Structure 1
Amino acid sequence: MHPGKSKSVLISGGSGLIGMHLTSLLLEKGYTVSHLSRKSGQFGRVRVYRWDPEKKIADHALTGEFDYIIHLAGAGIGEKRWTRKRKSEILSSREDSAKFLFDIVKKNNIGLSAFISASGTGYYGTAVNAKSFDENDPPGNDFLGMVCKRWEEAADKFSAEGIRTVKIRTGVVLAGNGGILEQLSRPFRYGLVIRMGSGRQYMPWIHISDLCRIYFKALEDTQMSGAYNAVAPENVTHNEFMKELASVNHRKIILPPVPGFMVKLLLGEMADIVIKGNRVSAEKILSAGYSFEFPDLRSALNDIYSRQT
């Protein structure tokens, strides 16, 4: 980067929930932000470059200088039933797109300062006990564990070239405009609070603001490298989460939990992301000097819902 020139960030998946919030933060911090998308264009202060990882098509203008790439692109985990085709899309949209980004950087000799990749706490698989997973634990042997492992291995191609690489293993993201809260709170319209499975499964979560600030720290902090769990310090079970969510929304009718086998009948293998969980440690990101704006669930939910009134 030339002296006096603003730092430049290229984001894949920039039009998604996390990407839009992160773009706003980075623009506020003085960064030049560009997106990768199926269609090129200019949206406000953000230049959008065309790319299609499936067809290996990239905008010819992607030869300029970028200081950082943030890789957020990936087919939604919970949007569709996990058919064989959908599972292939979930994996390839993450792994193959990361590899294609690497090819673009190599081909155009883009001198990156860092490559920041999303990942998920699904990396660890699920656990019925209260074991707290940290970044040194191996990947789980289920579908999401495999996806996250291969996603991160694709990101490590950058690390092998001497580019600082950070992998953000993200928990359930709490935001006011979409995401899990919108889905969980739909029954509230009818005065109902619905719980899934035993309720004892842990739900690693993070406020969207903290997640974006962790990405910002990953850009700025040259000591950050490798995997970091992006989860709030407070561990809660599904029961505790739903009770807190009901309280903040002034709902009191809590139905008996929907048995796990019924959820499986409805959702198939995808039910595992609802009825199973894992407990994930935030210790490494805390030790790196990050201070959470919303370390506990009550403060996070109060902030989100106060913005909607």
Structure 2
Amino acid sequence: MSRKVLITGGTGMIGTRLAEMLIDAGYEVALLSRTPGNGRYRSFRWDPLAGTIDEAAVPYADYIINLAGSSVSDGKWTQERKREILSSRLAGTQLMARELATGNHHVQAFISASAIGIYGDQDDRIVTEETPPAPDDFLAEVCRQWEAAAQSVAEDGIRTAIFRIGIVLSPEGGALVPLARTVKLMAGAPLGSGRQYMSWIHLDDLCRLFIQAMEEPQWQGTFNAVAPTPVTNKEFTETLAAVLHRPLVLPKVPEFGLKLVMGEMSEIVLASQRVSAEKTLQQGFRFEFPTLREALESFYGEQ
């Protein structure tokens, strides 16, 4: 039985861990890359913006996991940066859809990333997969177009699952690193009002979720990839400080200060998103790290 997985965006934080876990589970892994051949996995060349891809890439795969997209948290959101955030997601997914539409392959499932940014700022309302995308919101519009591109794969009759990913926790990268750094320096403080909800997921749970969705035919459609216990930013900061055995000394970091430093990107930490994991749980997925404390202790518990 052939078990080959092709990952787009495989060199990022999620893709790197996912590839390791797939190998451990007995799969073969290949990456799609603009600069192939510099890692431990087989890789195929593609250039989404130019619309070019190695013609052997898609026929290689039994499964495709689509994570390609430029990081939303690197650098201020200039107009150029915003174009890149959108085009890097859209072009890769559209290119995959185009290749899959040719029918010259044996791909059994297409798993594509999206983000909870699609919901915009929702205050303390619980949002589900049925909640419509936020209007007039940059990240929501990016996610809406990204999902529409992935949806066109489903229209070609390939089982497609789209995951709206929350704040991914890993000591290797993403939002946790700067937050933990400030707490370790005893400069930790809630951000903005501190009341905004953060819907998070442990990196390993996210990778296990992708693998389960790849393997089991009932995963089809859109799912939230978040742990079942979202927390407020204040609770997040307090839990992190407790796990790191550091006091929280500062009052809140004011919203205008964050906007000054981060620009529009401050939306990522200031927008409140209280996202339901119910549909994902009903599919039979079990979180290894359902609570924030367990997740943070898995990274920092020994320190």
**Aligned-pair CA distance for 1:63:** 5.7
After TM superposition, the structure 1 = structure 2 runs for residues 67-216 of structure 1, keeping only pairs within 5 Å, are: 67-107=62-102, 109-128=104-123, 130-141=124-135, 142-216=137-211
Q: Is the 8 A contact 2:90 2:146 kept in 1?
A: yes
Deviations 1:112-140 (A, max 9, x none): 11110001011111122x21000111011
Task: Give the secondary structure class of the aligned counterpart of 2:160.
Answer: strand
* Corresponding residue number in structure 2 for 1:21: 17
Q: Which runs of 4+ in 1 moved over 3 A?
A: none
CA deviation map 1:129-173 (0-9, x unaligned): x21000111011211111111000000111111111100111001
Report matched runs for 1:227-266 at 5 Å. Answer: 227-266=222-261
Which secondary structure state, in structure 2, belongs to the residue aligned with residue 43 of structure 1? coil
- Work out the number of aligned pairs and report it: 302
- Normalization by structure 1: what TM-score? 0.94
Q: Give distance in 2, aligned partners of 1:125 and 1:28.
A: 36
Q: Within 5 Å, which residues of 2 pair with 1:25-64? A: 25-41=21-37, 43-44=39-40, 46-62=41-57, 64=59
Paired residue for 1:299, among 294, 297, 300?
294
Structure 2: distance between partners of 1:253 and 1:7: 48
Q: What TM-score results when the alignment is normalised by the length of structure 2?
A: 0.96
- Aligned pair in 2 of structure 1 residues 66, 247: CA closer, same or farther (>3 Å)? same
Gapped runs of 5+ residues in structure 2?
A: none
Output the amino acid matched with 1:75.
S
Q: CA deviation at 1:104?
A: 2.3
Separation in 1, partners of 2:86, 2:36: 25
Partners in 2 of 1:61 and 1:157 — Cα distance? Answer: 22
Deviates most, 151-160 or 101-110: 101-110
| Paired residues of 1:192 and 1:251 also in contact (CA < 8 A) | no
Between 1:94-103 and 1:62-71, the stretch displaced more is: 62-71
- Higher mean alpha-carbon deviation, 159-168 vs 298-307, is at 298-307
Partners of 1:201 and 1:213 lie apart in 2 by 27
State whether structure 2 residue 276 is matched by structure 1 residue 274: no
Cα distance per residue 1:7-42 (max 9 Å; x no partner): 111100101110011111111111111101112226
* One-letter amino acid of the counterpart of residue 80, structure 1: G
Q: CA RMSD in A?
A: 1.4
SS of equivalent residue, structure 1 residue 169: strand
Write the distance in 2 (CA, Å) between the matches of 1:198 and 1:188.
17
- The letter of the residue matching 2:92 is S
Identity of aligned pairs, percent?
Answer: 46
State the Cα distance separating 1:108 from its structure 2 match. Answer: 6.5
Could you say what secondary structure the match of 1:185 adopts?
helix
Q: Distance in 1 between matches of 2:30 and 2:225?
A: 24
